[in-house]
Amino acid sequence: MSKAVNSDEDIHGLLPQYASGNLPAADRQRVEAWLEKHPELRSEVAFWEQLRAGLQSQPQAAPGQEVWQGVSQRVVLHQRQAKRSAISILAGLALAGFSLVILWLTIRPGVLLQWTVSGTDQLTYQVYRAPTGSQDFVLLGEVHGTPGVSQYSYLDALFLPGQSYVYRVEGLSPSGSAVVSQGVVSQSLAALPGQLAILLASLLVGYLAASLARNWGSAGPGRLLPA
């Protein structure tokens, strides 16, 4: 059921569209029926028609060739910038990743366990870790003893920042007997500053590389103009 025009308000609202000639047929018939009963509204229709004719009599703008040239230039420039920007982001990410690996391997942030042995037995050292306060020791890795070497170390770089751990080293002789070290408690956040510094430095390197790549060679729109 189509809604009925039942007030002056509704009709007033429809009159401009009626004057523009694109009112749907149903609405058009309702407006015409209403105008039959209220001829005083015809002056309002005439106003809209007069204004429409006035607007139509205005000279219409036509864009010149240079406007299209401007559009083309902007599009071409945008495409090149988008491409350069994508390349520079990729370059930045690659360099940041590369720096991260290099710095991490060079500086080795983490908890460094060092122990000295006095015996001559060739042992295998197993490093265990448990969160402070628990006994859930997990084997992190093994260090194989070398004859004549008394200093050993193990770096634990994979842990949750802020968590402190208890480390334990077990020395296993070939015969299977074990020597267990005392638990060593790491400070929470012990390795965090180093790790953060490396991460930030890598991000900075990546960001600088991306900025350089983006700005490098951007000589402005002048280059795009055809000779």
Residues interacting with another protein, by CB under 8 A? 12-13, 16-17, 19-22, 43-44, 46-48, 50-58, 60-65, 67-76, 78-79, 83, 224, 226
CB of 84 to another protein, least distance (A): 12
Comparing CB distances to another protein, the nearer of 38 and 108 is 38
| Residue placing its CB nearer to another protein in the complex, 58 or 175 | 58
Please report how close the Cβ of residue 87 comes to another protein at its closest, in angstroms: 11
B/e letters for 67-103, b = 16+ CB within 10 Å, e = fewer, are eeeeeeeeeeeeeeeeebeeebeebbeebbeebbeeb
Residue 139 CB, shortest distance to another protein, in Å, is 48
Q: Which is nearer to another protein, 46 or 102 (CB)?
A: 46
Q: With H, G, I as helix, E, B as strand and everything else as coil, classify residue 60.
A: coil
Paired residues of 172 in beta bridges:
124, 178
Q: Which amino acid is at 50?
A: Q
Question: In one letter, which amino acid is 42?
Answer: R
**What is the smallest separation between the CB atom of 216 and another protein, expressed in angstroms?**
18
Structure tokens at 156: 């634990």
For 185, the 3-state DSSP assignment is: strand
Pairing mode of beta strands 124-131, 138-144: antiparallel
Beta carbon nearer to another protein, 205 or 213: 213
Choose between 49 and 170: whose C-beta lies nearer to another protein.
49
Work out how close the CB of 27 gets to another protein at its nearest, in angstroms, rounded to a whole number: 10
